[in-house]
Amino acid sequence: MSDTASDSDLQAGGSLLHIGRDGVPLRRVVAPLTRSLQQICVSIITEALAEAGLVQLEYALLVFVNDAPGISQQTLAEAMGVDRNNVGLIAEKLEARGLLRRTVNGDDRRARQVYLTRKGERLWRQCQPEVFAANQRVLAPLNASEKKLFIDMLVRLVEGNRVHARPGAGRRKRTSRKSI
């Protein structure tokens, strides 16, 4: 099979099997490939953040707060695609480590605004080279122009499907025992 599949092949579910260099079969279908890529990314980023004692979502929260100091927890949850309660728990944990400061919003007493502390800024800066190198490891099989094109296409896919990037999207709805 060639390295490219036509749209009709993709729609018809044609022979989309690719045997990898390691002999492991790969289906040339978006969802399983992106899931595998997500697993690869998580593994490599986890290694990069281990020394800092952070996990990927904690680091992502630091990045968003650095980019938008004073961001509300609600907006942070939407931007990260994470449930707002989970963002609250992550922020609480980072605040306990002295990496974040949360303040009550003057206009809405229920809302919290989030800021990095000096310690949080230092840790964020310290992690940047490791995370950059980890991202480069993920992209290493591509040449420079392919890397740019791949990132551009990922941005386009995410932007074009952002409505589906919300907490709980795609999860099976639980049914009550009464309906069984």
Q: Residue 111: what pLDDT?
A: 75
pLDDT at 108 over 60: yes
The tens digit of pLDDT for each residue in 131-152 reads: 999 999 999 999 999 999 999 9
Angle between helices 73-80 and 56-67 (to 10 degrees): 120
The DSSP symbol for 87 reads H
The C-alpha atoms of residue 138 and residue 128 are separated, in whole angstroms, by: 15
Q: Is 71 helix (H, G, I), strand (E, B) or coil?
A: strand
Would the CA dihedral through 163, 82, 148, 139 be positive or negative? Answer: negative
The tens digit of pLDDT for each residue in 4-39 reads: 545 444 444 555 787 878 888 888 889 889 999 999
Would the CA dihedral through 141, 147, 150, 155 be positive or negative? Answer: positive
Share of the chain above pLDDT 70, in %: 82
The tens digit of pLDDT for each residue in 51-85 reads: 999 999 999 999 999 999 999 998 999 888 888 89
Longest dimension (CA), the chain: 61
Pairing mode of beta strands 112-116, 71-72:
antiparallel
Give me the CATH code for the 16-163 domain, please. 1.10.10.10
Residues in the chain: 180
